[in-house]
Amino acid sequence: MQNQEGQLAADGETEVTCGIEDWANFGGGGDGDVMQQQSSVPFVGDKEPLSALAAEYQSGSPILLQKIEMLGDKYVAIRRTRGDGNCFFRSFMFSYLEHILEKQDRVEVDRIKANVEECRKTLQSLGYVDFTFEDFFALFLEQLDDVLQGNETSISHEELLNRSREQSVSDYGEFLFCLSFASQQWNLWVKKVTMCTLLHYPMHWVYQFVLYTSTAALVMQCYWCWF
């Protein structure tokens, strides 16, 4: 009996030990494999012809292939980005900085800087503490200045790409994430104020609604329209 119990205890220890060792592989590979797979993809990839995308989805939906063909009417190449949740913001920011680098549009840069300052004030008015967003704003403005040629810190297209592949710089996409989240909060606040206006000040609801809607549209311009 003692031998059997001892054997059961030993077996139990073996099972527990195996469970701990295999924990990282729980669920078909675990998060470790997913993270390793993600880390193998650069934050911003090299240019690839659209034909590479078409070949990848060759056995997919005909509608999807048709959409890829339609992209070929306007674009000649694509860049892949790491799918870590910031891929949209990262893609947008790199594309925008690349556009400024190629066009050297200083008027556009001045316009964006003015709107960034307005966005900073909007975040502060919504209760955001400066240190929660200031670093992202400063990083974006730094990259914006550096893509303009003729300065001591001016960079080439190759350097822009290299910087965008560094996480410390690539995270400037958080700049747009802050604006997106803040704009949602602002819209919710506007809806609440508008509802209070409808309930408590029926004689002035038209004026108040137009006022708050216009204000919200102005704030949204800081994010959606200034690009």
pLDDT band per the 50, 70, 90 thresholds, residue 167? confident
- Residues 208, 116: one domain? yes
pLDDT given at position 20: 41
Q: How many domains does the chain have?
A: 3
Q: Which domain holds residue 66?
A: 46-81
Question: Is the same domain home to 166 and 196?
Answer: yes
66 and 11, same structural domain? Answer: no
Question: Residue 100's pLDDT is what?
Answer: 96
Residue 227 confidence class, pLDDT cut points 50, 70, 90: very low
Dist. CA 36–CA 22, nearest whole Å = 17
Clarify whether residues 190 and 172 are in a common domain. Answer: yes
pLDDT band at 210 (very low <50, low <70, confident <90, very high): very low
pTM recorded for the entire structure: 0.66
Given a cut of 90, whether residue 141 has pLDDT beyond it is yes
Give the pLDDT of residue 187.
Answer: 63
Tell me: do 178 and 97 sit in the same domain.
yes
- Residue pair 97/112 in contact (Cβ under 8 Å)? The answer is no
What percentage of the chain exceeds 90 in pLDDT? 29
166 with 200, same domain? Answer: yes
- Residue pair 172/136 in contact by the 8 Å Cβ criterion: yes
Whether residue 29 is found in the same domain as residue 133: no
Structure-token pair, residue 136: 């992202």
